[in-house]
Structure 1
Amino acid sequence: MMIRFTLVAMSALISLLMWTKSAAANDELLERLTLPKGYEISYFAKNVENARQLAVSSSGVVYAGSRKAGKVYALIDHNQDGVADRQIVLAKNLNMPSGLALYQGDLYVAEVHRIIRFKSIDKQLSKPSFEVVFDNLPTDRHHGWKFIRFTESGELLVPVGVPCNVCAEDEKYGRIFSLNLQSKKLTTVAQGVRNSVGFDINPQSGALWFSDNGRDMMGDDIPPDEINRVSFDGEHFGFPYVHGGSVLDPEFAKGKTLADMQKYTMPKLALQAHVAPLGIHFYRGKQFAKALHNRLFVAEHGSWNRSKKVGYRVMMATIKEGEVAAYEPFISGFLDKEQTLGRPVAFAELVDGSLLVSDDYANAIYRVRYNNK
């Protein structure tokens, strides 16, 4: 009996030590992060396994998708102190449910092969259930995880990445689609897109902007990753023929010149190769300093395929008359020399205008606010 009690006590002590070590590591990471003067970062939620896209309901519930974890979360801040005090797993064992979006009180979640819906989600948190609303998407897991967003007209923007590093186009892949949930019709919004896992609509112009991850296996420094703007439905952004607006593909553009690529749309911003831009977000709130209103925030998830790591930070772009006028750091410190501490993914805003940032490596969601004192 004594032996059994001792083993139980040792197990509890080990669990406590592991939790303490994890908490200490989280606190250490927060202390390493740097932001512009006047901005503060804190944890909105910890232990949100593989946190990806975020959405905030009208009642303030924060929803988060995941990729490897296969879960969808609801995070509730009951006392509204900027820290979630309850976590609910709405669903698990899903097929990389990275992307989610709210529309008219319903939560839509994008798995690799389908879109599911939790109706009136805020009202059924105690007993959540979902239904399939669209299941005619490719089943390829390579670049199959998604980021989704609703347009003002109620159509759902859904990307489908290419199932390869670089390969010939197929009408099912390499596109951002607009899905009409009533007719189930898919319309191509953008094509020639290798793998977009983030987009947003500029609230000032109404134009769709999106990130795109460039191909691999061309070396450390080429080709650039991209930030793009859509001008018309069906616009072609060059993949697999030209990358980053400046690099011809050695296979698919063999014998061609950059002059031959003028029929394709070049990026609004060519980023450093392999920084892996994921979520992008136009800041719409009023809590930040006026100079940052309408800035485009970009989550550079970070490289996995480079001899020296790059990315691992949150950047912000200044957009003027449809062009990128400046691109500068907002949150740095997720990378310590070559040691990965965190990987930012996506954004959402709380009702008070503070900015949430998900991190699928540190399993956390951060809250950024401006201390105007």
Structure 2
Amino acid sequence: MSNPRLSIIPAGAVTDRSLEPRDLQTLCLLGRHIDRAGWCTRSQVRMAGELGCGRATLQRSLERLYEAGWVEKRRRDGWRPEDSTPSSSYAYRVKLDRDDFDLKSLARDADDDLDESHAENEEVPEIGEVVPAGGQGCPPMGTGAHACAGTGAHTYAGTKNDPLERPLRTTERDAGARARDRKDKFKAEFRRRWPTAVVDDRQRTDYAADALSAEEEKAALDGVEPFLDELKRQGRKTVPAGWRYLEEKRWTLLRQGEGSAEAGASRSTSIEESSEAGRAIVTLYAVAKAKPFVNRGAVIYPGGAVTPQLLAFAGVADRSSWRWITDRQQVAAWQAFLGEHVFGARAPLLEQRGEQSGFFAPASWPPRKDGGWSEADAAEASQPGGDE
């Protein structure tokens, strides 16, 4: 026969609570593909295929079995460091005997109810009686102990594992492996969806992806198509790099503009483009390097009513007279203001001029809530001739 019909595993592994059901499958599979010396040299990819799981899952099972002492491993090649990640370069062998295992327990026949040597059928001495010499009886009951609560076949001191729960380091290792698998799937799916993934800086994209939480990963993927549609709607011919989309979390720019269907419909305001409010919204979006949605001469503003603070932009002079803003506090104030009042996708606000980063704005500071500008900026906002 090409394959053995039997696969013998150590009995203690069946009740080792540090193991998972998949680990027992792996243990049986190792015994199915051994050579004459008892070593399994089968490819991990092929074994994972037989078990119907991923290679990473199989590797975790092999590591748990190795750490629990149920298998031993040796290197099949000599060029990898000893502490490297387990791979197909390892051969594994099932350890049928363990130094810390009670060999006498193997002589017990669990199916023979009449066997007096079996722990469940052995007569328990009364408190104070002496344990029969040479026997396997239970010690006298003490404070906080139970009768016949000795070392059973399910307890292995040599594994250094609590029989009631898995070791913390094993749980942490498995959680880390699952997180890495999730990250790899997210990166692959994002590259498949993003148009410029082929020419993007792959390392920078990976860094940006690693910084995202699980919730942000889902939001980023869900926002790809709406973000690209918004770019087309605004007539933009270029798509930003994927790492920039992830670093700046640009899908969040659509959140305020989208909202729920009912909320969006109730807040959106249709404004005649040639009106004072229409001119104010167009100018506001120009500062943010974006274009508002215009339908048949009407500007659709998702922010609702146009407040006096926004109407201040209706009297702003031509863009040629705007200031070049580089002060950090002023830049931060404008970014917060535009983030609150401008909806939809837009280009990065800052641009580079020599060694300085900045942007053009009608004044140094955004308008006040009452619609006025600061005294120093009032003339600059309404009169041409500002610094560039």
Give me the TM-score of the superposition, normalised by structure 2: 0.22
Higher relative contact order (CA 8 A, sep 6+): 1
TM-score by length of 1: 0.23
Structure with the higher strand share, 1 or 2: 1
